[in-house]
């Protein structure tokens, strides 16, 4: 483990206090408050800026990246990038070792006279680490006996079902014989879903319409390294649920009163549009007031898996019923962290006086959120937002990329992930898209600019 701070690099310091809360030289009143960011990936720059604006020292813990797929590693900031963005101390660890991380944070707190306020996960693999480390430090955390239910999709379904909520049928499988047996036992027919139980970002998720496709999925999952760097011994078979997909983002605020249940605020709701190939096409922000059944279900899901502090996002499917409303929601998964895809950034642009990153820090440190309205269960956007996914339709060598966005009236930001000369595969999940465009403004103008984006986008791929 390396400890790197601005202006110095040292070996691991010797533990020099039997009681870590004991100050080394100064009084408690002179201690600086600090927040810990575990595996800073999702919106990490915005969270660092928010921490600085709230007057906190920022500590970043970089988890090991070697076991992660290359497409995930490309999103990881370097130590230098973190420091340049305002991180005061960077701890780089060689494994997800809760004891070691806790120990080094305690040493750092003693050496620099810091009062640790909260531990915040900024990636999916940071979720279980953050809660365990926060617990060891005596800081706010989600319910520990449900930590596996916040990462393992099978445990997740079990917890949600135990709360009396509807879920998709599921089973753990280690072979095609297990798949066939489970389909018979659960009265399922194709299509089915096969996935890595502790996956993320739609990676290692296969919608299978035949035995052959199921065999291919099982071969891809079992015995291989999953997206979180762990070996996968069994896949999760799930009932395929039709309907429209939504992402409902939440922020949980707990009280210092132990008997007071957390308040869960719905911060933003997104509806997805998918292509015929089940790829993501667009995601649009919605008015939460139009989806009461979905909001109730999502908050109940978050409670079922023990979320009490911080951000969460519930991905679900729902049926469109008469009148254009949606009912009968079913969870796809829940993540106990900020949602990806810049949704929090875009929501900040669409909702007046809302800073999700300050709210995230205040929630994890059990501080009063200055922008948390007490008279509502959800926030209402006053601007329309659309997230456009740019797919790769052919495997090969990228020969040419065209995308004209400079003249768009509603352009918020864009990102092109691939570049000329790259060898690419057909898009199968969010992280394998060619790029993204985010638009915010008046709905009609966003619609016009969307057409301009799609007509200008060219990705020329040649066979190799």
For 202-248, the pLDDT digits (tens) are 678 899 999 999 999 999 999 988 877 888 999 999 999 999 999 99
Q: Nearest to residue 235, comparing CAs of 314, 182, 165, 166?
A: 182
Q: Which residues contact 453 (CB under 8 A, 6 or more apart)?
A: 388, 403, 405, 408, 437, 439
Contact assessment for residue 336 and residue 150, using Cβ atoms and an 8 Å cutoff: yes
| Whole-number average pLDDT of the chain | 89
| Statement: residue 28 has pLDDT above 80 | no
Give the model's pLDDT for residue 280: 80
For 124-133, the pLDDT digits (tens) are 989 999 999 9
| Statement: residue 12 has pLDDT above 50 | no
Give the model's pLDDT for residue 64: 84
Beta-bridge mates of residue 286: 269
**What value does the mean pLDDT take over residues 46-56?**
97
Give the model's pLDDT for residue 144: 96
DSSP 155: H
Give the model's pLDDT for residue 369: 65
Contact assessment for residue 256 and residue 362, using Cβ atoms and an 8 Å cutoff: no
For 111-148, the pLDDT digits (tens) are 999 999 999 999 998 999 999 999 999 999 999 999 99
Contact assessment for residue 78 and residue 40, using Cβ atoms and an 8 Å cutoff: no
**What value does the mean pLDDT take over residues 40-59?**
96
Give the model's pLDDT for residue 73: 64
Give the model's pLDDT for residue 69: 58
| Dihedrals phi, psi of 43, to nearest 5 degrees | 50, 35
Contact assessment for residue 250 and residue 222, using Cβ atoms and an 8 Å cutoff: no
| Statement: residue 1 has pLDDT above 60 | no
Q: Nearest to residue 142, comparing CAs of 119, 115, 167, 158?
A: 119
Under the banding of pLDDT at 50, 70 and 90, the label for residue 76 is confident
Contact assessment for residue 332 and residue 294, using Cβ atoms and an 8 Å cutoff: no
**What value does the mean pLDDT take over residues 335-363?**
95
Give the model's pLDDT for residue 258: 67
For 297-327, the pLDDT digits (tens) are 999 999 999 999 999 999 999 999 988 899 9
Residue, of 134 and 74, whose pLDDT is higher = 134
Under the banding of pLDDT at 50, 70 and 90, the label for residue 455 is very high
Scan for tokens 């911060």, then name that residue: 267
Percent of all residues in the chain with a pLDDT value above 90, rounded to a whole number: 76
Under the banding of pLDDT at 50, 70 and 90, the label for residue 277 is low
Q: Nearest to residue 346, comparing CAs of 317, 298, 381?
A: 381
SS (H, E, C) 229-284: CCECCCEEEEECCCCEEEEEEEEEECCCCCCCCCEEEEEEEEEEEECCCCCEEEEE
pTM of the model: 0.89
16-20, 64-68, 399-403: lowest mean pLDDT where? 16-20
**What value does the mean pLDDT take over residues 83-106?**
93
What is the dihedral angle through the alpha carbons of 68, 69, 71, 75, rounded to the nearest 10 degrees? 0
Give the model's pLDDT for residue 9: 34
What whole-number distance in Å separates Cα of residue 450 and Cα of residue 452?
A: 5
Q: Which residues contact 39 (CB under 8 A, 6 or more apart)?
A: 61, 62, 63, 121, 122, 123, 125, 126, 129
Give the model's pLDDT for residue 322: 84
């Amino acid at each position: 483990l390396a400890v790197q701070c601005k202006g110095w690099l040292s070996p691991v310091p010797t533990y020099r206090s039997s009681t870590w809360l004991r100050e080394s030289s100064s009084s408690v009143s002179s201690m600086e408050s600090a927040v810990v960011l575990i595996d800073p990936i999702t919106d990490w720059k915005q969270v660092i800026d928010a921490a600085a604006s709230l007057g906190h020292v920022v500590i970043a813990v970089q988890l090991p990246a070697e076991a992660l797929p290359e497409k995930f590693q490309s999103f990881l900031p370097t130590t230098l990038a973190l420091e340049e963005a305002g991180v005061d101390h960077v701890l780089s660890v060689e494994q997800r070792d809760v004891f070691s991380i806790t120990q080094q944070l305690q040493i750092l707190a003693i050496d620099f006279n810091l009062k640790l306020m909260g531990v915040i996960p900024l990636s999916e693999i940071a979720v279980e680490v953050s809660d365990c480390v926060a617990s060891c430090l005596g800081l706010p955390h989600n319910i520990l006996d449900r930590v596996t239910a916040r990462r393992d999709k099978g445990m997740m379904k079990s917890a949600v079902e135990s709360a009396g909520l509807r879920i998709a049928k599921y089973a753990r499988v280690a072979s095609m014989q297990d798949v066939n047996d489970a389909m018979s036992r659960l009265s399922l027919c194709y299509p089915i879903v096969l996935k890595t139980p502790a996956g993320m970002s739609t990676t290692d998720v296969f919608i299978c319409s035949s035995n052959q496709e199921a065999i291919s999925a099982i071969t891809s999952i079992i015995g291989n390294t999953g997206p979180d760097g762990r070996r996968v011994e069994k896949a999760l078979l799930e009932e395929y649920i039709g309907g429209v997909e939504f992402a409902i983002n939440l922020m949980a605020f707990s009280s210092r009163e132990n008997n007071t249940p957390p308040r869960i605020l719905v911060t933003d709701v997104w509806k997805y549009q998918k292509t015929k190939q089940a790829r993501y096409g667009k995601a649009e922000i919605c008015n939460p007031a139009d989806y009461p059944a979905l909001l109730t279900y999502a908050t109940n899901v978050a409670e079922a898996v023990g979320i009490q502090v911080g951000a969460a996002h519930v991905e679900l499917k729902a049926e469109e019923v008469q009148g254009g409303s949606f009912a009968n929601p079913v969870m796809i998964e829940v993540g106990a962290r900020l949602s990806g895809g810049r949704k929090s950034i875009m929501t900040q642009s669409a909702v007046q006086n809302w800073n999700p990153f300050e709210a995230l820090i205040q929630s994890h440190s059990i501080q009063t959120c200055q922008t948390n309205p007490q008279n509502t269960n959800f926030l209402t956007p006053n601007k329309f937002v659309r997230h456009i996914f740019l797919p790769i339709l052919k495997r090969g060598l990228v020969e040419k990329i065209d995308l004209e966005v400079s003249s768009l009236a509603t352009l918020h930001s864009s990102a092109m992930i691939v570049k000329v000369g790259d060898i690419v595969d057909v898009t199968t999940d969010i992280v394998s898209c060619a790029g993204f465009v985010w638009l915010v403004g008046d709905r009609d103008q966003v619609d016009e600019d969307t057409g301009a984006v799609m007509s200008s986008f060219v990705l020329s791929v040649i066979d190799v």
